[in-house]
Structure 1
């Protein structure tokens, strides 16, 4: 029949694909997009924490930046970085310097056994595989023996910069970071410590300010996430504590644009609670911004 004057069919043209595999892939992408839309439609919340001291952090940052040139970035020393993070409820486990075996023994008595003996030299930092970290030292004799082995094999104390730190419950070692991206603003990054993030690049990212939904999705986005949830019979770790840490760091960098970089590594997440063993905080005078609020894509 002649259909020249027939009304056009409703909707657009039917898509066609040269192979069934491509059609299946396109359909999968459409499903994922639909899931993303539904998840974002429900939104999330940026939680409030009563113990956050925003004014105290602002006062501390003003003093720390007083001697920093306008175009410079300063790395805070350990004490200042720990104090700033503490204003937002992020506790970094203290370390005590151990320039001599006697100093290491005194530090261990202050912290209480068992302790860890670690080097903090830049080329050995976080390199347990090179023998720069000795764990579960329960007596002074073990500590002194490990100190001697460390300096005999890796170098003099002045080169190694050894420290003593209290042991924490075992768990999964993770990395939590925040940096300023020139295009997107402040970004949270999460991954497992070691090979997973450093060699394989298995990390996930979210824009700041992060919501509770963002934090939950962030730790589940990496390929190695099953290690957090009881992979092959292991005990699941405290992901709620991990999500709270991410949210507190998000609040810190969102409230204070002077904080241009934070690296918490490692963060040991145990079955109950977590321990931040080391932190690096970088600060700078914030550049002038004409845009306000988080940088997000428009919704249509």
Structure 2
């Protein structure tokens, strides 16, 4: 900044290497915004130098097993050539998604299809009461505003009554794709996503589920591979972060487990360029532990890499 405020070259002197120009702005407000960007960047550089962060290793990650699964899945689906999210990308089934995530130590809460009331009862007995009943059709998924989710169903009578209500409210079970799922502890609903950006490469994203991310765009992003410092900053940089840390006397949730989940998703994306998209929603962050209620993964042959990795600005 001191160099930028130094005296400019004499009038008429061409600007060349080593010469300094004074920035000029048409309004003081724009100059103030520019200085704010400089200050934020300097603070970011300072924190990165003081605590550069590291990409942690997890002994339970099965990278080779995941690579073998991905190769089999791409072959089985006949996927030949593709780009990130392109027309030839394939979205894995729930079972394949859960198996691939399990290779990276990420468990998805069990859910069983309920095409009819008898199947719902059988699924509930298999999973153990209490259970939740919810639709999984794409046009109904994550639509809490429709009231299409029934929680804490403690017995057959409650489950059958809820099944009848949802069928009347949302339509035929074949259209809504109802499932019975094990109940998770109460907590804060969050969203973890990862995708390939054509310019930046793999990007990890985080936000709170529902209106904060969908309506207000309150989502934070970082490049993959994420470090432990990146994960900690990611969950603290959204505007709704206070809800995770005990807002208005509420009990703080397990942000350490949430950071670990982010790092494991980052490792999956970094280890396997064939994973062009991963959506974990919702992820309930409770006082102790996290619970992934839904997940999807998209695969495609590795896209061309024109960028060797995360970018960094030069030091001046």
Is this a same-fold pair by TM over 0.5? yes
Q: In structure 2, what is the equivalent of residue 49 of structure 1? A: 58
Matched, 1:33 2:41: yes
Q: In structure 2, what is the equivalent of residue 102 of structure 1? A: 118
Shift of the alpha carbon at 1:18?
8.6
Q: C-alpha separation between the residues in 2 aligned to 1:262 and 1:21?
A: 40
Contact 2:280 2:292 in 1 (8 A): yes
Q: 1:65 aligns with which of 71, 74, 94?
A: 74
Q: C-alpha separation between the residues in 2 aligned to 1:28 and 1:141?
A: 60
Shift of the alpha carbon at 1:47?
0.1
Deviation readout 1:231-275 (Å, 9 max, x if unpaired): 111111111000000000000010000000000000000011000
Q: C-alpha separation between the residues in 1 aligned to 2:297 and 2:195?
A: 10
**Structure 2: gaps of 5 or more residues:** 8-21, 82-87
Report the CA distance shift for 1:65/1:18 in structure 2 as closer, same or farther (over 3 A): closer
Tell me the C-alpha RMSD between the 2 structures: 2.1
Deviation readout 1:22-67 (Å, 9 max, x if unpaired): 6765554443222111012231100000000000000000100113
Q: C-alpha separation between the residues in 2 aligned to 1:195 and 1:118?
A: 19
Q: C-alpha separation between the residues in 2 aligned to 1:262 and 1:239?
A: 20
**Structure 1: gaps of 5 or more residues:** 1-10
Shift of the alpha carbon at 1:191?
0.4
Contact 2:201 2:307 in 1 (8 A): no
Report the CA distance shift for 1:160/1:20 in structure 2 as closer, same or farther (over 3 A): closer
Report the CA distance shift for 1:290/1:141 in structure 2 as closer, same or farther (over 3 A): same
- Residue aligned with 1:149, SS: helix
Q: Residues 189-208 of structure 1 correspond to what in structure 2 (within 5 A)?
A: 189-208=205-224
Q: C-alpha separation between the residues in 2 aligned to 1:145 and 1:240?
A: 39
Matched, 1:270 2:264: no
- Residue aligned with 1:183, SS: coil
Report the CA distance shift for 1:180/1:136 in structure 2 as closer, same or farther (over 3 A): same
Q: Matched residue pairs, number? A: 291
Deviation readout 1:115-144 (Å, 9 max, x if unpaired): 000011111111122122111111110000
Contact 2:200 2:307 in 1 (8 A): no
Q: C-alpha separation between the residues in 1 aligned to 2:25 and 2:298?
A: 51
Q: C-alpha separation between the residues in 1 aligned to 2:58 and 2:253?
A: 22
Report the CA distance shift for 1:229/1:154 in structure 2 as closer, same or farther (over 3 A): same
After TM superposition, the score normalised by the length of structure 1 is: 0.91
After TM superposition, the score normalised by the length of structure 2 is: 0.87
Q: In structure 2, what is the equivalent of residue 299 of structure 1? A: 314
